[in-house]
Amino acid sequence: MLDVTLNPGFIPLLVALAVLAAPQALRAPLMALSAFSALWLLLDREFGVDASVQQMGLRIVPLELDALNQVFGIGLLIALTVIAAYSSGRKNRFEDCAILVLAGGAVSALFVGDLILFAATAALASFGAAWVVFASPLRQSARAGVRLLVWQGLEGLLFLVGIALHIADNQGVTTIRRLSVHELSGAFIFAALMIRVGAPLAHVWFKDAVAHASPAGGAAISAFSAMLGVYALARFFPAEVLLVPAGAAMVVLGAFYAAAEDDLRAAAAYAQTAQTGIGLALVGVGSPLALAAVEAHAFTCILAFAALQMSLGNIVERRGEARASGLAGLGQSMPLTTGFLLLAGLACAGLPGLALYPTFAAALEAAAQWETRWLWTLFSCLPAILFVGLCLRVSLAAHKRADSERYGEAPYGMLLGVSLASFFCVAIGIAPHWLYNLTPTEMSIDPFALDRVARQLELIGAAGVVFLALRLVGIAPTEAPTRLLDMDAVYRGPVAAAGAWTGAAALRVLGVAQAGWDKISSQGGARLEAWLRSLDRPYAQTWSGPAQLLTIAALILLALLAGAN
């Protein structure tokens, strides 16, 4: 039992129970204290397998620490600290507990050393994410929570089938190692992780959950959900070539919707999907530099997009929604939130001097090979698109004059959380070398080399000038309350209708079959009962006399034959 509690992620899980009973004034400090304690336990351990136990004939590894999960763990625990400060601005003990379950499950999954415990802790994180959505006070959050449970149930089912096949194929060995998609067990686990990271066709769950969660819940889901899948793919499937086109498709899909979506929290989730796609493609490249860039890029994505979601959450807290078409007057009524929003948007777009830029430079360096030149080109275009989608059009909308009711700033605790997240965005962007040093492969990259900085600024600046020119001549449309259709329109429309029709038809067929069986069984039972009653009255039938005569004759014939022999 002592070995299991050494996993740093178990501390937030234990504190989650205390948060349910704690008064409001103590809940945020308890959340922050759990993050600090887990971080201390993480940094106090040495690399390697800490212990293993035998359970039901299987070798279970409760804790394993290396440079890969250390980087992810530090990023998630810093995010938990920031969200703890942010959550002090509202009253919702159940959501606080759910956020700790989500964070504790995700952090625990990073440090376990076998597939069984990984599946269990990842499922616990999924449960926490669904609980976060259900705890949201926003409209339609309950339905979004149900949809999230469906996706997570499918992911868990695929994972369990893959683990069962893996155990059968490897004589009960469950320790974490490299898997192959060419094996049936590896294919099931790979499919489950594709759902977790929000790969194409399954990407809609992420934006749906973030858009319907509360301000704090959206930041928590953004930080703790998809990035766990990136870690698992880097752990289980490094250099898997299928990840390159999958990541590229995520970049294209996320960039398109981030630039056009009116709901800014959904747009930010799409932008994070695009940045996650960079991580997937680099895992598929599989070189030591690419894997190191994945770790660093995931670290900065966790903090930058948490800052963006918290800034948008401030708007949701005051206005009930955060839509680009409804931001008029934001610059006058909520100037601090507007400043944090633009800073976080610039960080997510990769502006030099902010969080994502140094790790984005490392990603470009890892993709700068002749075989992956198309991938390098695709990566290079992403910051310009995100700058327009997350910063420029938001800035233009926020600084429009509005005669409507003025809104005040968000509560102090929410502003404090955004301030901490913005501090990390600036600190990492200015001094990224300590993050480079945490990765397992030494990255001797100078992100502030003139050619790198100039190229990034030129692309971002050119995109801004083109967008403004198109807006001036009326080609680029102004923000309007539109709703873009994505794959969830298919899932909720034709797929849901087909499922409902199939279910109704199956129930009707089942009813007809059951009624027919009842009729057949009742008639057969009646006939059997009549036959059994006839045996109780052998002399009551008309054929009883001839039957007896034939029986006696047969017995006499048998006796004569036996005597003759």
3-state secondary structure of 369: coil
The reply to whether 19 and 101 lie within a common domain is: yes
Residue 534 within a domain: no
Q: Quick one: which H or E segment has residue 54?
A: strand 48-55
Domain of 34 in residue numbering reads as: 1-213
Runs of H (alpha helix) within 368-392: 373-386
Residue 520 within a domain: no
What count of other Cβ atoms lies within 10 Å of the Cβ of residue 257?
A: 21
Whole-number Å distance between alpha carbons of 215 and 487? 25
Residue 559 within a domain: no
Q: Which two tokens stand for residue 142?
A: 């309950």
pLDDT of 4: 45
3-state secondary structure of 59: strand
Residues in the chain with pLDDT < 50? 1-5, 56
The reply to whether 160 and 264 lie within a common domain is: no
- Domain stops at, among 460, 484, 508: 484
The reply to whether 208 and 242 lie within a common domain is: no
Whole-number Å distance between alpha carbons of 211 and 313? 10
Whole-number Å distance between alpha carbons of 462 and 482? 27
The reply to whether 172 and 272 lie within a common domain is: no
Whole-number Å distance between alpha carbons of 38 and 298? 19
- Domain stops at, among 197, 213, 229: 213
Residue 133 within a domain: yes
| Sign of the CA dihedral running 380, 324, 304, 273 | negative
Task: Please give the DSSP secondary-structure letter assigned to residue 272.
Answer: H
The reply to whether 104 and 165 lie within a common domain is: yes
- Burial (CB count within 10 angstroms: exposed 0-12, middle 13-18, buried 19+), residue 101: buried
**CA torsion angle for 358, 361, 366, 367 (degrees, to 10)?**
150
| Sign of the CA dihedral running 99, 104, 109, 111 | positive
Residue 507 within a domain: no
Amino acid at 96: D
pLDDT of 1: 40
How far is residue 118 CA from its own chain's centroid? 15
What count of other Cβ atoms lies within 10 Å of the Cβ of residue 379?
A: 25
Q: Which two tokens stand for residue 516?
A: 């027919």
Residue 21 within a domain: yes
The reply to whether 205 and 255 lie within a common domain is: no
What count of other Cβ atoms lies within 10 Å of the Cβ of residue 34?
A: 28
Q: Quick one: which H or E segment has residue 260?
A: helix 243-260
φ and ψ of 480, to 5 deg: -135, 150
Q: Is the pTM of the predicted complex or chain greater than 0.85?
A: yes
Q: Quick one: which H or E segment has residue 61?
A: strand 58-65
Task: Please give the DSSP secondary-structure letter assigned to residue 400.
Answer: S
Q: What's the Cα-to-Cα distance from 267 to each of 14, 157, 218, 258, rounded to whole Å?
A: 34, 29, 12, 4
Instruction: Find the largest Cα–Cα distance for the chain.
Output: 125
The reply to whether 198 and 302 lie within a common domain is: no
The reply to whether 284 and 340 lie within a common domain is: yes
The reply to whether 207 and 242 lie within a common domain is: no
Residue 226 within a domain: no
The reply to whether 72 and 148 lie within a common domain is: yes
Look-up: residue for tokens 């945020």? 28
- Burial (CB count within 10 angstroms: exposed 0-12, middle 13-18, buried 19+), residue 107: buried
Q: Are the C-beta atoms of 455 and 308 separated by less than 8 Å?
A: no
The reply to whether 246 and 162 lie within a common domain is: no
pLDDT of 480: 64
Residue 547 within a domain: no
The reply to whether 346 and 288 lie within a common domain is: yes
Look-up: residue for tokens 């928590």? 220
**CA torsion angle for 286, 290, 294, 296 (degrees, to 10)?**
150
φ and ψ of 146, to 5 deg: -65, -45
Going by DSSP bridges, is the β-strand pair 48-55/58-65 parallel, antiparallel, or unpaired? antiparallel
- Domain stops at, among 424, 455, 484: 484
Q: How many domains does the chain have?
A: 2
pLDDT of 254: 94
